[in-house]
Chain A
């Protein structure tokens, strides 16, 4: 009976407004913001940099070539992965159909979300080395690519008027 009366009288204004989807900006403001952050080396990397410096000082007198500077490469890799991650999230926001989805698709989607959430929690801890961060960001990108494929095929199947469950059985 409660449902019938709700149907008869309508939708609560607060609920209707809260149910509106979150909107995404036309373009990310992050590239501009990241340029405004003063370049600051994290303290926890300092001992490693110091050790590398001492190692170089020890190696150069022996006439050996100095090792390549992997730090800048890692930083570059990290930035690339972050950028990929951001781009994939934007694609997912544009691709995902939040109004029409099967229960099975939702289960897969939630499982992927949980994996992302677990990675984000680890990234937020702040006690990670660069290689661990690289590993986690790579995992994040992989999961987002998986999700992009999921939602793209869901959209394609819906556009073709085909049941999505079949595609999921084929893929998962």
Chain B
């Protein structure tokens, strides 16, 4: 609960490691265990069931979209599109993997599609730097300030920010990120390491005091 703005506590997924084709990390804000009875009602077109699903996943979808795309208006559009696709495709959900992972994939695809439109090829200003730094970078204490960390994140290129978020928060592997972005595993690792280093620099900027010997 710490740090989350959720007031009510949706039931957190207890067994996210079912037969799924992607990593399903319980650290993801999407990790909400949806009862099969609720899903069946939604499949039958019950508005109340959809409303319940919308309320549970509104903020996880919006947050993911905002972190990846960086703009509230675009995140609002992505939320709307994702939920519309949920309405249209829920009959296709077979329950072979957790519902939240399925819905999250719809949201991620929607985000990446928009990023590709904005930046064809998903370029970053950190391309070409192929050396790998440590992935688990430690950030300065300023990172505990949500506002400062959010501002620093927003100053990163959208693709770099997306890789960082998908890897560290949503728990995707580099292999999966590479597949989603049609890039190499090296690209994902490099973006993750470079993005972390850049984030550390951005957060440290106010602390750096010129030395007077």
Contact = CB atoms under 8 A, between A and B. Distances in A.
Given A19-B2, A21-B3, A117-B9, A34 B60 contact: no
A134 to B, nearest CB: 12
A25 B75 contact: yes
A65 interface: no
A13 B196 contact: yes
7 contacts: A13-B143, A16-B143, A22-B59, A25-B79, A42-B46, A82-B51, A121-B11
A116 B150 CA distance: 30
B201 to A, nearest CB: 13
Contacts of B141: 7, 10-11
Contacts of B80: 29, 32-33
Considering the complex of A and B, which 9 residue pairs feature the smallest CB-CB distances, nearest first?
A10-B138, A14-B168, A16-B143, A19-B3, A22-B59, A21-B5, A40-B45, A124-B38, A92-B7
A171 B169 CA distance: 39
A166 interface: no
Interface string A87-108: 0010011001010000000000
Contacts of B52: 120, 123-124
Interface string B139-164: 11101101001100100000000001
B148 to A, nearest CB: 10
B12 to A, nearest CB: 11
- Identify whether the interface residues of A are mostly helix, strand, loop, or mixed: helix
A25 B138 CA distance: 30
Interface in A1-40: 7, 9-14, 16-30, 32-34, 36-38, 40
A47 B143 CA distance: 59
A67 interface: no
Contacts of B54: 29-30, 33
Given A13-B138, A29-B83, A33-B50, A113 B7 contact: yes
A125 B45 contact: no
Interface of A: 7, 9-14, 16-30, 32-34, 36-38, 40, 42-43, 78, 82, 86, 89, 92-93, 96, 98, 113, 116-117, 120-121, 123-127, 133, 147
Interface residues of B, number: 62
A10 B2 CA distance: 19
B136 A13 contact: yes
Contacts of A42: 44, 46
A92 B7 CA distance: 7
B62 A24 contact: yes
Contacts of A11: 138-141, 143-144
A121 B98 CA distance: 18
Contacts of B140: 10-11
